[in-house]
A and B are shown apart, each in its own frame.
Chain A
Amino acid sequence: MIVALLLLIPFITALALMFLRPTQQAKNVALISTLASLGVVLFAWSAYTGGTVIHYNMDWVPAWGLRFVMGYDGVGLLMLILTAVVFPFIIAAGYGEKLQHPSLVNALLLFTQTFLFGVFLAQNTLLFYIFYELSLIPVFFFLLYWGGEHRRAITVKFFIYTLLGGLSLLFGIIYCLGQGAGFNGDFATIGALNFPLSTQIWLFWVLFLAFAIKLPIFPFHSWQPDTYAMAPLQGTMVLGAVMLKMGLYGIIKIVLPIVPQGVIHWQETVIVLALIGAIYGGIIAFRQSDLKRLIAFSSLSHVGLLCAGLFAWNSYGVSGSLYQAFAHALLVVCMLYISGAMKERVGSSEMGAMGGLKLRTPRLAALFLLVLVNAVALPLTQSFVGEWLMFAGLWQVNGWLAFAAVSTIVLGAIYMLFAYQRVMLGPDKWALEMTDATTRDHLVLVPLIAVTLFLGVYPGPILDLVDVPVQQLLSSLSLN
């Protein structure tokens, strides 16, 4: 029932929006739909008692032996919660955007949500792949028709790049299926493939490439800054908050079980690349003049750390990475919302056109500051818990890697405080008339900040969710 609801609520709402085109009510309808999905996920969470919950397990295309298996474990549930929590806010962010054809925009967003739910519910490799690629379609159209300058070129670039990764993944999956994984590549059984090390060494990259691009990891990132900067605000939110988490999830669900020795073989290489990206993104972010592009590079930096933590492959690293995935989703939505709110008032997200805005918008400045506190991962915010666990995990791998990872806390402070100063502080040099934070701004930012702080003080609910699955994952890894 939960699975059906999660797939059908956004899907049917999206279809209705697409065909009925209720221009005036589109945003409200979409908002209600996402809130309903959130309710369903929270219900699933409250009813969850551990283990893998399978809701559907049936024949799909019997002639080919395709099966339709859907459910979730703790990690999947975390991703479902993440998706369900951020989408209402992404829809709400649309109230400030004056995009053409709001029905279509919201329909595309809800299609995306459907497929994202599908990715996190799928219990076999093939279904995962199908939803994984499906989720790209609505985003593609959203970027192509509602993006900013150079949208065509950038969107095509983004599409080809991710599609290439996807094809590589598809090839890898087909290879595995041919090697006896069964036609579905059930998550429960793909761990038993036991490829020889020589195979695992190349197969790792075939499978990992898609996720490395999706996250993205240095040096596969170069589609990301342009795309984030060009995409409509809500598009960037979807990409940054949720879609990249598919990469993280895919690594855990597909790469690790199939090629565990390949993962160990390439572990340090991936961590080094990820940390290069974390430092690279953090340094570049400092001198960016466009707030949205700054957020893109900051996200690159954060994601590098996420991936490094994950590849530590110990309980602190993986739990921390998953915890941080949630924190990062909320952070990205908050940051982008603020950049949108500033753009609404100033007319551009260039920080050169801002400065001294705290005088005009003191409440917005206070909200920005609270988001900033989370962005630089001060303790008692959600990000700190995740970062601390990842640092502890990375130290177990190698002290120097931990040192590189920890140094990003300095880079984060440098670019975030500089950005805050350029937007909010200093003399009121432009003397623009503008409204302070509106009710809508408060309705979006205050709950997100509240969740951020609550989970910073009391991370138990989320950590408990991932603790057991992560332990199981790691013990199965050592069995191999």
Chain B
Amino acid sequence: MRTDLLAILVPVLPLVGAIILASLRRKLSANVAGGLATALIASSFVASVVLFMGFDASTGGRTVHMLDWINVGGMNIPLALRIDALSLTMMLIVTGIGSLIHLYSIGYMHEDERAPTFFAQLNLFSFAMLMLVMGSNFLITFIGWEGVGLCSYLLIGFWYKTPEYNYAARKAFVMNRIGDVGMVLGMVLLFQRFGTLEYVSIMDMATGGMNDPLMIAATLFLFIGATGKSAQLPLFTWLPDAMAGPTPVSALIHAATMVTAGIFLIVRSSVLFELAPFTKDIILWVGTATALIAASVGLFQNDIKKVLAYSTVSQLGYMFVALGMGAYSAAMFHVTTHAFFKALLFLGAGSVIHALGGEQDIRKMGGLKGRVSLTLTPPSIRMDGPVKITYITFFIGTIAISGLPLMSSFFSKDLIMAYGFQHSPVLFGLLLFGALLTTFYMFRLLFLVFYGTYRGKAHPHESPLTMTIPLMVLAVLSVVGGLLNLPHLFGGHEPMKHFLETAADAIRYEHLGLSATTEWILMGITTVLVFATIAMAYGRFAKRATLEGAEADMPFFKRLIAQRWRLDEFYAALFERPYGWISTHLFTTVERHVMVPVMNGVGAAALAMGGVVRKLQTGNTSFHLLAMLCGMIVFLLITLMSN
């Protein structure tokens, strides 16, 4: 039927784009390749919108069967897509934000000689991400899951001449694979338990006792998978390194879409997680710890993209906190608004980097906003900065992520924090602290880049329209995104929650039981403290001409945080170097000095025995064997011929 065909087209169009671009990568110009890639993902977006418009949420959703995939001995796993509220939400984010970032990339990558390859990989990523969110069973999601991992690897290491980038790419892939062990085991266990991997069937069948050990194991395994893909403790250290990739990649893959896959997976299987409160508690505390640790590191980073990367890890932590409290729709809401403002911030950062000819160190930026003057007659704002659009949109992104009143994150993050308060005031306190850290490092970034005086040597210039149009669209979305799930407090009806609950039953049971007064008070406290934090950041960074000294001069604890809690060094000492040592020594010691000599001993014994026999036979063993076998061939031939 037509809707089925349309649903299939959504992932297939970017796949076709990837194949065409990869095969013609040497023949196409950067602009043609970029145009084609953008057109295809935009078509997917249009198809998604049409599907969304024609979707009747009351039906719950439909499954589009494409092909029997793995069908053997009682296992039947089809290649099938699921169209429901959850997948449609994700499809709109992936194709919508994806289209904007493809468009942006045309401007950002136009001078790169491998731009067609870049667009092929970006399209391939879109295909994989769409498979991930549209799959009707775990294994289809896993196709996308591994596909986005591959594209992430390729795009982080896109500039492959630099060994550090290749290392970062490998690190991302391997750490994701560690999570995948959990994901695979989780799927195997669920298959063993339910005899199917179809989401709908499993969620229907999953009933019964709380904290069934099997359910705890399955959900923990899935969560381990999620910590890899969504960069949570202990597997988050790959994400900051992933900033080695071109900035549009950081925006699309490492902020807006791929890293939210873990959250999507848990919402998809929310019924299972509802049956395993033990797992939910673990998710809650892992999320909180990640949110705070990453936010603390963000305070001291001097690379514009690294600040945003730690911010992403921290925001993902908030989403996991929501999941841990069973607030699945709140998590999805924050996934959506985060996709808007974090894509905006990354693209804005890309525009800054572009303007400064590749500079990423915020210590060498400053003053990019120029002078801003207000005139009242006629009422207008005059700016003489070199990157006006970039500045305004980046400013909007910053206030959006900080949760200033009525911005998108004001609604989505506050919802999570309100659930946190309902869970325990301590949790609320921690989340509030994290939110203030976020505000502080984001305004530090804003002030150091755009305020004060310019500390670099490049000649800043504004980016082309292909880059600034996405910035403007995302800025608007970052402001109004809160409307998607406007709470009752502001006269809304939480439309997103009610939409999503048609796809995930667990969302029906979400309930924020705080009184309106409590909510107003919490919101008031948060807002006042956020403004105070901004004022503090302004005082410290807005007028700076120089920055504080090197890490070595910092007091111990501050230095520890600035050095990213030394997690990378810790992992290197605990896993990476020992692994290399074991690999070397298993070969040079065990294999060379144990296995081989033992085998040679066996061989020598055989030869010695052969020597004894030889005295009786006076011949060459292998010759005898050969003769015997030749004889057999002759027999064989005779038999065949005589037939």
Residues of A bordering B, CB below 8 Å = 4, 7-8, 56, 58, 60-61, 68, 130, 133-134, 137, 140, 157, 159-161, 163-164, 219, 221-223, 225-226, 280, 283-288, 315-316, 319, 356, 358-359, 366, 373, 378-380, 385, 388-389, 391-392, 395-396, 399, 402-403, 406-407, 409-410, 413-414, 417-418, 421, 424-428, 457-460, 463, 466-467, 470-471
Contact assessment for A316 and B72 in the assembled complex, using a CB-CB cutoff below 8 Å: yes
Contact with A467, one of B72, B191, B606 (Cβ below 8 angstroms): B72
Contact assessment for A463 and B71 in the assembled complex, using a CB-CB cutoff below 8 Å: yes
Residues of B within 8 A of A7 (CB): 636, 640
Contact assessment for B166 and A403 in the assembled complex, using a CB-CB cutoff below 8 Å: no
Cβ distance A45 to chain B, nearest Cβ, rounded Å: 18
Give B550-596 interface residues, CB cut-off 8 Å to A: 579-580, 582-584, 586-587, 591, 595-596
Contact with B643, one of A56, A286, A418, A426 (Cβ below 8 angstroms): A56
**Chain B, Cβ-Cβ closest to A379:** B143
Contact assessment for B192 and A417 in the assembled complex, using a CB-CB cutoff below 8 Å: no
Contact assessment for A389 and B143 in the assembled complex, using a CB-CB cutoff below 8 Å: no
* Cα–Cα distance between A434 and B598 once the two chains are bound (Å): 43
Contact assessment for B629 and A315 in the assembled complex, using a CB-CB cutoff below 8 Å: no
| CB-CB under 8 A for A219 and B595, given A287-B587, A389-B75, A417-B153 | yes
B602 within 8 A of A: yes
Contact with B587, one of A56, A284, A385, A426 (Cβ below 8 angstroms): A284
| CB-CB under 8 A for A427 and B161, given A402-B185, A409-B181 | yes
Cβ distance A311 to chain B, nearest Cβ, rounded Å: 16
- Interface size class for chain B? 35 or more
Residues of B within 8 A of A414 (CB): 170, 174, 579
* Cα–Cα distance between A468 and B71 once the two chains are bound (Å): 12
B157 within 8 A of A: yes
Cβ distance A256 to chain B, nearest Cβ, rounded Å: 17
| CB-CB under 8 A for A413 and B160, given A58-B639, A286-B583, A316-B75 | no
| CB-CB under 8 A for A396 and B629, given A316-B72, A410-B178, A427-B161 | no
B520 within 8 A of A: no
Residues of B within 8 A of A283 (CB): 579, 582-583, 586
* Cα–Cα distance between A273 and B74 once the two chains are bound (Å): 29
Contact assessment for A403 and B185 in the assembled complex, using a CB-CB cutoff below 8 Å: yes
Contact assessment for A315 and B74 in the assembled complex, using a CB-CB cutoff below 8 Å: yes
| CB-CB under 8 A for A388 and B139, given A402-B185, A459-B70 | yes
Residue-wise interface mask of B (187-227) relative to A, using a CB-CB cutoff of 8 A (1 in contact, 0 not): 01101100000000000000000000000000000000000
Question: Total number of A-B contacts with CB less than 8 angstroms?
Answer: 175
Contact assessment for A358 and B75 in the assembled complex, using a CB-CB cutoff below 8 Å: no
Cβ distance A400 to chain B, nearest Cβ, rounded Å: 11
| CB-CB under 8 A for A425 and B160, given A134-B633, A222-B598, A286-B583 | yes
* Cα–Cα distance between A421 and B156 once the two chains are bound (Å): 13
CB-defined A-B contacts under 8 Å, sample of 18: A4-B643, A56-B640, A283-B579, A315-B74, A379-B139, A379-B147, A388-B70, A391-B188, A392-B192, A395-B185, A407-B181, A410-B177, A417-B173, A425-B163, A426-B162, A427-B161, A458-B67, A466-B72
* Cα–Cα distance between A409 and B181 once the two chains are bound (Å): 7
Most central of B161, B166, B188, B633 by chain A CB within 10 Å: B188
Contact with B639, one of A68, A160, A366, A378 (Cβ below 8 angstroms): A68
Q: Chain B interface secondary structure, helix, strand, loop or mixed?
A: helix
Contact assessment for B146 and A8 in the assembled complex, using a CB-CB cutoff below 8 Å: no
Residues of B within 8 A of A222 (CB): 591, 595-596, 598-599
Contact assessment for A159 and B622 in the assembled complex, using a CB-CB cutoff below 8 Å: yes
B490 within 8 A of A: no
* Cα–Cα distance between A426 and B146 once the two chains are bound (Å): 24
Contact with A130, one of B69, B146, B602, B632 (Cβ below 8 angstroms): B632
B20 within 8 A of A: no
Contact assessment for A395 and B591 in the assembled complex, using a CB-CB cutoff below 8 Å: no
Contact assessment for B73 and A316 in the assembled complex, using a CB-CB cutoff below 8 Å: yes
* Cα–Cα distance between A391 and B184 once the two chains are bound (Å): 8
Cβ distance A430 to chain B, nearest Cβ, rounded Å: 14
Give B2-36 interface residues, CB cut-off 8 Å to A: 22
**Chain A, Cβ-Cβ closest to B638:** A60
Contact assessment for B192 and A395 in the assembled complex, using a CB-CB cutoff below 8 Å: yes
Cβ distance B583 to chain A, nearest Cβ, rounded Å: 4
Residues of A within 8 A of B170 (CB): 414, 417-418, 421
* Cα–Cα distance between A346 and B639 once the two chains are bound (Å): 50
Contact assessment for B160 and A378 in the assembled complex, using a CB-CB cutoff below 8 Å: no
Residues of A within 8 A of B606 (CB): 160, 164
Cβ distance A471 to chain B, nearest Cβ, rounded Å: 7
B603 within 8 A of A: yes
* Cα–Cα distance between A418 and B79 once the two chains are bound (Å): 32
Contact assessment for B579 and A286 in the assembled complex, using a CB-CB cutoff below 8 Å: yes
Contact assessment for A287 and B632 in the assembled complex, using a CB-CB cutoff below 8 Å: no
Contact assessment for B70 and A389 in the assembled complex, using a CB-CB cutoff below 8 Å: yes
Most central of B157, B181, B587, B598 by chain A CB within 10 Å: B587
Residues of A within 8 A of B180 (CB): 409-410
Residues of A within 8 A of B583 (CB): 283-287
Residues of A within 8 A of B181 (CB): 403, 406-407, 409-410
Most central of B70, B146, B632, B640 by chain A CB within 10 Å: B70
B535 within 8 A of A: no
Cβ distance A207 to chain B, nearest Cβ, rounded Å: 18
**Chain A, Cβ-Cβ closest to B597:** A222
7 A-B pairs closest in CB distance: A315-B73, A287-B583, A379-B143, A222-B599, A222-B595, A286-B583, A463-B72
Residues of A within 8 A of B626 (CB): 137
Residue-wise interface mask of B (78-107) relative to A, using a CB-CB cutoff of 8 A (1 in contact, 0 not): 010000000000000000000000000000
